[in-house]
Amino acid sequence: MYRLAASAVNHPDQLNQLWGVFNHRSLTALWRNGVTVDAVVPRPHAPPVGPFSEFRSIPSEDESFPYPVSHPRFWYYLPKSLWYHRSGDSMAAALKRWVETLEYSPDVFHGCHLYPDGYALSELSERDRIPLTTYAHGTILNEYTSFNRGTQQRIETAIRSSSVVFCSGDSIERSVRAIVPTATTRVVPIGADPANFPTEHQASLRQELDVPAEMTVVLFCGQYSRQKGVADLIEVLRTLRGESLYFVFIGHGGALRDDVQELLDTSDTLHGRTLWKVPPAVVRQWFAVADLFILPSHAEGRPTVIYEAMASQTPVLTTTVGGIPEQVEDGVTGWLLEPGDISGFRSKLTTLPVETLPEMGRAAETRLRRNGWTWDGHARRLRDTHMEMIGQELKTQNI
C-alpha cells in the first residue's frame, strides 16, 4: 500500500495507557486497512527524582502495539506560557534523529496534532520532499489565541507546510482557515465502532457493575475540569433531587474530582460514583449501561465521547460549542443547550423523558453508521487522501 511515519506526542505508553487513545485508534485503523505505520511518540526528558521521574522507565521502543512505537526524548520547557515554542523545537530535533533510524523512506509524514507533531515534522517534510498531512483537533485551535507568538507561528508553519490538514469537523476547518486562509483542508471525522460496545448485555452489566435496576444511569466521561463543564454540573446537582437518577463520573484528569465525590458523599438524594483512570474496555461497558450521556462543555472540537455515546445507543445532553451540533441532532439523538445554562440542564434532568431514551439512542447509532463515523471509515478517508497525494507526487516526478 504505502508507508506512513506518524508523530503522536499524545499517545498511550507503558505508564499512561489512557493518553491519546484516539490517536492509537486512528493509527491502528490505518494499519488494519493495509498501511505500513511507524509511530514516533516523543517523551520529555525526566528528572532523576520527583513526580515525573517515572518517565525515565518508558523504553525507547515499544512493541506492544500493532505498529512499532519509538520514544525519543525531547526537552519540555516550563512554564508553558513562556516556552512552549521551544518544546516544539526540541521535539523537531528529536524527530530528525528518529527518522534516521527508519529502515525505509516514508511515503507520507503525518502529524496526529498540528502542534507539536505537525510542526516537528514540517522541516523533515521539506528537507526530504515527503508530503506532510496533519490532523486538527479542537484543543490546539481553541487555545490558539492564548499561546505566545512563537507558538502561534509554529502552528501556522504546520498548517502551511501540510499538503492537507485533516479537520475533525466543519467548525475546526473554519478555525484552521481563519489562521491560514490558503490552507488545504479536508473534514475527516474520527468515530467509534458500535461492535465494541456490549449494548446487548446491558441488563447483566448493570448487575455486574452494581447499578440499581430501576434507576436511570446518567454518564459523564472526560476531565474533571471547568472546561468540560464539571463545575456547572456540580451546581446543577447541588439543587437536584435525583432519587431516580444514578450519576457515573469517569475521568482521567482535572482538579474537580474531589468536589464531585464530596457532593455525592454528602447528598441525601443523589446516587452514583466517581471513577478514575478506567481501562477502555470498562469505559465501553459503562457507555453500554448508560441511559443518557451528559457533557456540559464550554469548549470542544468534535468530542470522541459523543461518538462513543452514539455507538452505544446512548442519547446525549450537551452544549452547542465547537463541532458538537454537527454530531448531535437536537431533539432526535439528544439535546443541545448553551454552555453555562445551569437552569436548562437542571430542567432537562428533572423532566427527562425516560421512555423515549432508547429510541433516541437507536437514532444516534443510525446517524453514526449513516455518516461513516467509525474508525475504519476514518482510516479509509485518510488512506484515500494519502494515496491521492502519492499519485500526484509520482506524476510530478515523471514530468
pLDDT at 287: 98
Q: What is the mean pLDDT of residues 267-275?
A: 92
Nearest to 166 by CA among 370, 9, 389: 389
What is the distance between the alpha carbons of residues 306 and 102, in angstroms, rounded to a whole number? 37
What was the pLDDT predicted at 394? 61
Domains belonging to the chain, first-starting first, are: 3-191+374-398 (3.40.50.2000), 194-370 (3.40.50.2000)
Q: What is the pLDDT of residue 395?
A: 54
What is the maximum span of the chain, computed from C-alpha positions, in angstroms? Answer: 76
Amino acid at 384: D
Beta strand 69-70 with 61-62 is: antiparallel
Question: Looking at residue 384, what is its pLDDT?
Answer: 97
17: left (phi over 0), alpha (psi -120 to 50) or beta: alpha
- The percent of residues in the chain predicted with pLDDT above 70, rounded, is 98
pLDDT of residue 268: 86
Cell of residue 69, nine digits: 512505537
How much is the mean pLDDT over the chain? 95
pLDDT tens figures, 160-203: 999 999 999 999 999 999 999 999 999 999 999 999 999 999 99
Q: How far apart are CA 267 and CA 238, in angstroms?
A: 8
| Mean pLDDT on 344-369 | 97
Q: Which residue has the cell 475521568?
A: 251
Distance CA 39, CA 4 (A): 8
C-alpha grid cell, residue 214: 430501576
Give the closest residue to 225 by CA, choosing from 278, 297, 294, 273.
297
pLDDT tier at 18, thresholds 50, 70, 90: confident
Identify the weakest region by mean pLDDT among 62-76, 229-243, 306-320. 229-243
pLDDT of residue 176: 98
- What is the per-residue pLDDT across 104-158, written as a single tens digit (0 to 9) for each? 999 999 999 999 999 999 999 999 999 999 999 998 999 999 999 999 999 999 9
Helix axes 375-398, 21-32, angle to 10 degrees: 60
Mean pLDDT over residues 60-81, rounded? 96
CA distance 97 to 78: 23
Across residues 76-80, what is the average pLDDT? 93
**Confidence (pLDDT) at 50:** 84
**Residue 243's pLDDT is what?**
77
User: What pTM was computed for the model?
Assistant: 0.92
| 399 — pLDDT class (breaks 50, 70, 90) | very low
User: pLDDT tens across 23-36, in order?
Assistant: 999 999 999 999 99
User: Above 80 in pLDDT, residue 237?
Assistant: yes
Give the pLDDT of residue 398: 54
> What residues contact residue 344 under an 8 Å CB cut-off, 6+ apart?
337, 338
Nearest Cα neighbor of 123 from 96, 145, 86 is: 96
- How does DSSP classify residue 340? T
